[in-house]
Structure 1
Amino acid sequence: MRFTLALLFFLLGLAVAVPVAEPASNKAPATKAAPAKTPAKAPTKAPAKDSSDKKKLVKGINDNIKAGGKEIKSTNDAEKAAKSGDAKGLKKDEKKIGKALDEATKAREKNQKIAGNKDKKLTEGLNKVENAQKGAKKTVDSFTGNPKKDQPKLDSLGKTFAKGKKTNQENLKEAKKNFN
C-alpha cells in the first residue's frame, strides 16, 4: 500500500513538473536584431476612418448650428417688431424663437447621447449649451407679447444665442478632431 501511494505521489509530481505548453500566439519568435545605424522612426498611424457615431455627432452639431441660426434670425425679427411696436408681429416671431429653440434642444440631446463621456472637452461644451438652452427656454416662456416688456429679454436672448453658436462651433471642431 505504501509503495502504491509513493508511486502515485511520484507520478503526480512529474505531471506537475512537466512544463505546460505555451498558448499559441501570432507573434514571430524574438530574434536578435542587428543594431540600427539610424534612429528608428515611430510607426505612423494611418488616419482612422470616421466612426458612424462621429459622423452622427458632426451632423447633429451642424443641425444644432442651423437651428441656432434660426434662433438668431427669429430673435432679430422679434427685436425689430418690438422696436416698431408691432405686438402681433412680435408674438409671431416669439413663437418662431420657441420652435427654433425646441429644434436646437432636440439636436443637442441627441448629440449628448452619442457623445456620452468619451471626450471631456466635448462633454463640457455640450453641457454648456444645455445650460444656456435651459436659460433661454425660461426667457422664451416668460414672453408677454408686450414690446416694451419683451425688448430687454430679446436683447439678452440674442446675446445668449450668439454665444451658443460660438460654443457649438467649438464643439464641432472638437468632435471632428478628437471624437472617435
Structure 2
Amino acid sequence: EKRMNDLQREQRFLVEEMQRSIDHREIIRTKGQAIQNATKKNGRGATRLDVDKESARMFKELNEKREEAQLKERLIRESLVEIEKKSKEIETIQREVENLDEQVTELQAQLLSAQKECDRLEDEKRIKNTTLQRLRDAENGAYNLAVSPEELNEEVTHLEEKRKMLVEIIDDLTNRYPELEEELSDILSAL
C-alpha cells in the first residue's frame, strides 16, 4: 500500500512536470510561429498587429490544449482514486476469505475430533456388547473359555509382550513419520 502511494505521488509529480514542459515549449513555439506567419503574409516584415493576432490565436490554441490536458489529468486522478478504492475492496475481500478459510479449518478440526470420539464410543460399545454377550453365555453355561484358568497367567504375559512390541513399533513409526503422529497416538492410547 505504501509502495502504491509512493508510485501515485511520483506519477502526479511527473505529470505536473510534463505539463509545465509542454506549456513552456508551446509558448516558445507559439511566439516563433506567430513571427514566421506574419513574415510570410507580408513580405516586408511583420507588423505589430499581425504578430499580436497570430499570438492571440496561438494562445487560444494553447489554452484549449491545456484544458484538454487538465481534463485528461483529472480523468487520470479519478481513475487512480477508483483503482485505490477497488484495491481496498479487494484487500477487504481477501481478509474475509482468509477468515472464512480459518473458520473452515477450525470446523474441520472439530468435525475430525467429533468423528474420532464417535469411533471411540462405537468401539467401546462393541466391546461392552461383546463382553455382555459373553457374560450371558457364561451365565447360561454356553460360553467356552478360550484359555483355561491354568494357562491364564501365561496368556496374560504373552499378551503384555505383544502390547509392548506394538508400542515400540508405533514409537518407531512416529519417529520416522512425524506427520502420522496424531493418528498413531490414537492407536497408542487405545493400546
TM-score w.r.t. length of structure 2: 0.26
Greater relative contact order structure (CA < 8 Å, 6+ sep)? 1
The structure with more helix, counted as a fraction of residues:
2
Larger radius of gyration: 2
TM-score w.r.t. length of structure 1: 0.27
